[in-house]
Amino acid sequence: MRVLSGIQPSGALHLGNYFGMMRRMIQYQADPNNTLFCFIVNFHALTTVFDAELLRRRTFEAACDFLALGIDPERSVFWVQSDVPEVTELTWLLSNVTSVGLLERAHSYKDKISKGITPNHGLFSYPVLMAADILLYEGELVPVGKDQKQHLEMTRDIAIRFNTTYGETFVVPEPDIAEDVAVVPGIDGQKMSKSYGNTIDIFSDYETLRSRVMSIVTDSTPVHEPKNPDKCTLFAIYSLFLSPEERAELRERYLRPGLKYSDVKKELVEVIWNHFAPYREKRQYYLNHPDEVFDILRMGAKKARQVATTVLERARRNVGVDYWNFAYRD
């Protein structure tokens, strides 16, 4: 199975990214029947990041994060989106079978507008670029968080429309959303997101982690009363790190009088810190050896490009824009 997913380098990566997508990609990599295509979507990040140096740094850090967490560049194809520029060409071919109505219905686009952002064309056509990402590499299964469900449906619509118009060209992908981690809440109880300022980052320093966890919103139930785990953001975040038995135990503690949220928060700081401890050192190694990271990404882009050129050529042929100038080919 070809498993494919991407992440934007628009900010530090957080628990929502980790549980919703990164950890699941790494789990898929362990199965030898899968080929992983994993990339950092810096073209997409251009819709919100307007500082070149910052984007460069975030892109590099996201690569280090993935490598530290276990993406194996020998077994998987791991690269930065913009290193395979064919994706922008495919975006154009797809644009012509994408209706404006479809794009206008995109939740993420509507959300951004409702927050007062003046939309540019990049933001509007974001889902078309995402469809190109998936179709160019013939992704079959796409692990993402629930917020990306609609984007995946749009990709499927675009692929089917293209195949119907021009003949079989693309593999129609399946979204893969794990129910238990579909929406990881942020410290304010809303969906955790880089753009909401409510994240707990996976590789922050200890003090920052502590202050973020200590500020998770909880209700005002007095200590001597039982608490409701099902309405508690702290419980939801803590649960991500627990086995079913441990989760049942924590639930029991909530239901017994005497539980102090601040005690649970202090425990959670340690749990998160220890969970990522083995990866922290590896991450530091990559941060200190940028040339090694660049080599890995270059090798990944080369492998990705081989698939991309074959699929793009097929798409070009099927729409009738063959390579007229054969001088371009070697």
Partner touching 44 among ligand TRP, ligand ADP, none, CB below 5 to 8 Å by kind:
ligand TRP
Q: Which helix (H) or strand (E) holds 261?
A: helix 261-288
If the CB atoms of residues 17 and 91 are measured against ligand ADP, the closer one turns out to be 17
Instruction: Give how far the C-alpha of residue 22 lies from the chain's centroid of Cα atoms, to the nearest Å.
Output: 7
Both structure tokens of 204? 């922050």
Interatomic CA distance for residues 41 and 82, integer angstroms: 7
Instruction: Based on the residue annotation, tell me whether 112 is a catalytic residue of this protein.
Output: yes
Q: Which residue, 144 or 237, has its beta carbon nearer to ligand TRP?
A: 144
- By beta-carbon proximity to ligand ADP, the closer residue of 247 and 253 is 247
CB distance 9 to 45 below 8 Å: yes
| Residue 134 partner contact from ligand ADP, ligand TRP, none using kind-dependent CB cut-offs of 5 to 8 Å | ligand TRP
Instruction: Locate the DSSP E strands across 111-177.
Output: 141-143, 174-176
Q: How is residue 256 annotated by DSSP?
A: S
Closer to ligand ADP by Cβ: residue 4 or 84: 4
In angstroms, give the least distance from the CB of 131 to ligand ADP.
15
Q: How many CA atoms lie within 13 A of 133 on its CB side?
A: 30
Which stretch of DSSP H or E encloses residue 38?
strand 35-40
Q: Which residues bind ligand TRP (CB under 6 A)?
A: 4-6, 8, 41, 44, 130, 133-134, 142, 144, 148, 151
Q: Respond yes or no: is residue 266 known to be catalytic.
A: no
Residue 130 binds which entry of ligand TRP, ligand ADP, none, CB below 5-8 Å type-dependent = ligand TRP
Query: Out of ligand TRP, ligand ADP, none, which partner does residue 173 contact, by CB within 5 to 8 A per kind?
Result: none
Q: Is the dihedral of CA 183, 139, 113, 8 positive or negative?
A: positive
Backbone CA torsion sign across 196, 198, 200, 206: positive
Min. distance of Cβ 138 from ligand TRP in angstroms? 12
Q: Is 190 helix (H, G, I), strand (E, B) or coil?
A: coil
17 interface partner picked from ligand TRP, ligand ADP, none, CB below 5 to 8 A per type: ligand ADP
C-beta of 97 vs 144, nearer to ligand ADP:
144
Summarize as ranges the residues that interact with ligand ADP (CB under 6 A).
7-8, 10, 16-17, 20-21, 144-145, 147-148, 181, 183-184, 191-195
**How far apart are CB 108 and ligand ADP at their closest, in Å?**
8
Catalytic residue from among 115, 194, 282, 303: 194
Phi, psi of 48 (to 5 degrees): -130, -15
Bridge partners of residue 14, in order along the sequence: 201
70, 77, 3: which is closest to 39 by C-alpha?
Answer: 77
CB of 19 to ligand ADP, least distance (A): 6
The residue number with the shortest CB distance to ligand TRP is 6
Provide the residue type at 277 as one letter: A
Q: Is 191 a catalytic residue?
A: yes
Q: Which residues are catalytic?
A: 112, 191, 194
